[in-house]
Amino acid sequence: MLSEWLIDVPSDLGQEWIVVVCPVGKRALIVASRGSTSAYTKSGYCVNRFPSLLPGGNRQNSTAKDYTILDCIYSEVNQTYYVLDVMCWRGHPFYDCQTDFRFYWMHSKLPEEEGLKEKTKLNPFKFVGLKNFPCTPESLCDVLSMDFPFEVDGLLFYHKQTHYSPGSTPLVGWLRPYMVSDVLGVAVPAGPLTTKPEYAGHQLQQIMEHKKSQKEKLTHKASESGHYELEHLSTPKLKSSPHSPDQPGSLMEN
């Protein structure tokens, strides 16, 4: 379930959306089944196999019916899988459940599995659920004033009632923290997360132009191929200019 840049702000953002603060890292699909845990990239490549204390994730806690599938962000620095969403838990699928219920379930069930937040022989990587917050102006200001135990990459905005679906969707939006004031029109507090880099204005202009061109292309192609937009969950590299030097993108992969 991948995001698009949140440029077209929904009118019900404050009532029907929730926001998740994301760490710098790489998107990972975690599958715990038959006594082993596998990590896959967004392209479907298995990049790691290890035991875990997730249901079905190691030989000591695995049964034929126990399997778990999680949408995560992997932080190599913290050796932690930060859990964004849950697709299956102990063999029960949640694809057809609304976002607010999936998040409620995730934060109810993860703490029940002892040792998930600790590095051990049976759990060599930590699993930590990412908190979600309301999208009201007051809540966003509070969120952008908080300290987090990781380097913040950006904000994911989820519609409360959307089901989990593969591919990108306009019902999941992405912004860097310093974009909130310009895009959402919220008066944000001054701080590390809201300080704008020199390239911020140029970057936002490029994103808006890219989305406009993509919409024009999709108007002609959608009926033929079913293609839809796929945005990166990272800062795009900017073209070299005397006023806006190249900036490295984040490590986040959608």
* 109 and 202 share one domain: no
**Which residue has tokens 């949408």?**
71
Residues of the chain with pLDDT > 70, as a percent, come to 85
The count of structural domains within the chain is 2
pLDDT at 248: 40
Q: Which residues of 42-70 are buried (b: 16+ CB within 10 A; e: fewer)?
A: eeeeeeeeebbbbbbbbeebbeeebbbbb
* 34 and 121 share one domain: yes
In contact, 199 and 241? CB cutoff 8 Å = no
pTM: 0.83
Query: Of all helices (H) and strands (E), which one includes residue 69?
Result: strand 67-75
* 109 and 72 share one domain: yes
Question: Is 50 exceeded by the pLDDT of residue 249?
Answer: no
Residue 220's pLDDT band, with cuts at 50, 70 and 90, is low
In contact, 79 and 119? CB cutoff 8 Å = yes
Question: Is 60 exceeded by the pLDDT of residue 125?
Answer: yes
Rounded-to-integer distance, Cα 128 and Cα 110, Å: 8
pLDDT at 213: 82
* 37 and 15 share one domain: no
How much helix, strand and coil, in percent to the nearest 5, is found in the chain? 25, 30, 45
pLDDT for 37-72, tens place per residue? 999 998 899 999 999 999 999 988 777 788 999 999
Question: Is 70 exceeded by the pLDDT of residue 244?
Answer: no
Question: What residues contact residue 115 under an 8 Å CB cut-off, 6+ apart?
Answer: 53, 122, 123
pLDDT at 226: 45
> Mean pLDDT, to the nearest integer, of 122-130?
98
* 40 and 72 share one domain: yes
Q: State the average pLDDT for the chain.
A: 87
> Mean pLDDT, to the nearest integer, of 117-133?
97
Q: DSSP assignment, residue 125?
A: S
Closest listed residue to residue 55, CA positions, set 96, 99, 88, 16 = 88
* 188 and 115 share one domain: no
Question: In terms of residue numbers, what domain contains 106?
Answer: 25-129
**Residue 220 is assigned to a structural domain of this protein:** yes
Among 48-57, 111-120, 148-157, 219-228, name the one with the lowest average pLDDT. Answer: 219-228
* 193 and 151 share one domain: yes
Strand partners, 20: 132, 156
* 88 and 108 share one domain: yes
3-state secondary structure of 155: strand
pLDDT at 221: 59
* 101 and 190 share one domain: no
**Residue 97 is assigned to a structural domain of this protein:** yes
